[in-house]
Structure 1
């Protein structure tokens, strides 16, 4: 069970599946759990792809709407919450680090947060409609995989700027060599699965990630749980939209 513990922690944190741990996780297990984020994304992607395949013959927008609803339910809208908090903070922070971090801690969502979340969900459902109509299950599987590889890359290459709490424990105990190995395997598998047709969508997704990372460095000097969640949502959206446009 001890070997499975980091995976179960990742599953508990990233999904709303009924995972129960016998005792609270220690710092080392929390850090290792980051290594399993892409694997959790793979399980989520395969689940969504199987559901989409079952619904594909229905046609129209209904399969996309059902798949997106299940996607949000399985993840508990956790990352959408991070996206909303980050959107409010980036606009309301007025370029100031402390003000930006303070707004991210506010549980209330302003109009900017609502608009950004709605736009991302609209883009996702529109892209899903195209992906499902073409039965492009590779794109649907890769979106959650790359989305959950993103926070691992953030934690490997950026400081966590909030002292204390869960995020700081993740960052402090993340095994760097293991993280690099997991990311290398994830990206190699992604390139093999996507093939030539995935070159431009994946290149655009990589460009978005590095733009987001640069924006975080300039604004707050690192990452937080909210910005990691926002990155997951935006990378998922970019993968789906990129593959939808590539196949148009």
Structure 2
């Protein structure tokens, strides 16, 4: 269970038991539980949405979105903001882009991208509440965190001093195929192909863009993948 607790501790602000120092092998295995952590986050969001469905939909959507941000501590939003600044301010220069991504401050481009993404999420959540459909809220966090595994398996990690560097040294890439496949099959079975297709297209674009600009991925790219895939899933699902 230590690997799961490590994943939950890293990806959320949910209190976890103290399991002591983590062995490198357990740290690598913790990534396999990212989709499971996403399922827990999605379950909390779906239950909250169901509880608020009888009230004003706009207020309910705002509360669900606030809970979504709070439970993750804004971790992935920070990655998206860093990528937005680097993509625009880096001018295609790899070293300049990496320097911008390390800067803790956010520029106007990052603010605009975050506002647009949160607006899309808010509108999609409001549509879910109006129609009392909660499956997209349940599964979007699962697919978002499965996207991290897919990038880990398919792209080089270009920041040797990043948070994921030690994890990737012991990352079991072969075993990661199973939670990735299970997440995709579950998403397709419950939501149908449009949300899965939207998520896939966004992830392909992000991966190609990261490789072109950085030569691979960083932790910020992983965070951006979570946010963009989640938003693609619930936005596409809102049109069904």
Match of residue 101, structure 1, among 71, 88, 98: 98
Is residue 2:74 matched to residue 1:69? no
Instruction: Give the length in aligned residue pairs.
Output: 240
Q: Is the 8 A contact 2:57 2:129 kept in 1?
A: no
Pick which of 166-175 and 123-132 moved more. 166-175
Segments of structure 1 that go 5 or more residues without pairing to the other structure are: none
The equivalent residue for 2:49 is 52
Q: Cα deviations across residues 128-170 of structure 1 (Å, max 9, x unaligned)?
A: 0001111111111111010111111101111110113431122
CA distance in 2, matches of 1:63, 1:214: 36
- Pairing partner for 1:33 from 30, 37, 42: 30
User: Contact 1:10 / 1:33 at 8 angstroms: preserved in 2?
Assistant: yes
Of 85, 89, 92, the match for 1:88: 85
CA RMSD of aligned residues (A): 1.1
SS at match of 1:57: coil
> Is 2:166 the counterpart of 1:172?
no
Whole-angstrom distance in 1 between the partners of 2:167 and 2:66:
29
1-structure distance, mates of 2:194, 2:227: 19
List gaps (5 residues or longer) in structure 2. none
Structure-2 residue corresponding to 1:23: 20
The residue that corresponds to 1:207 in the other structure is 201
* Residues 59 and 133, structure 1, Cα contact 8 Å, conserved in 2: no
Of residues 115, 118, 121, the one that matches 1:118 is: 115
1:60: how far off?
Answer: 2.7
Which residue in the other structure is 2:212 paired with?
218
Corresponding residue number in structure 2 for 1:230: 224
Q: Distance in 1 between matches of 2:162 and 2:88?
A: 25
Structure-1-length-normalised TM-score = 0.94
Q: CA deviation at 1:75?
A: 0.4
- Do the aligned residues in 2 keep the contact of 1:49 with 1:140 (CA within 8 Å)? yes
In the TM superposition, residue 20 of structure 1 has moved relative to its aligned partner by 4.3
The residue that corresponds to 2:127 in the other structure is: 130
Distance apart, 1:172 and its partner CA: 1.8
C-alpha distance in 1 between matches for 2:142 and 2:50: 18
1:146 aligns with 2:143: yes
CA deviations over 1:17-64 (Å, ceiling 9, x no partner) = 122434332321111111000000001101110110010010330110
Decide whether the 8 Å contact of 1:42 with 1:144 is kept in 2: yes
SS in 2 for 1:136: coil
Contact in 2 for aligned 1:34/1:174 (Cα 8 Å): yes
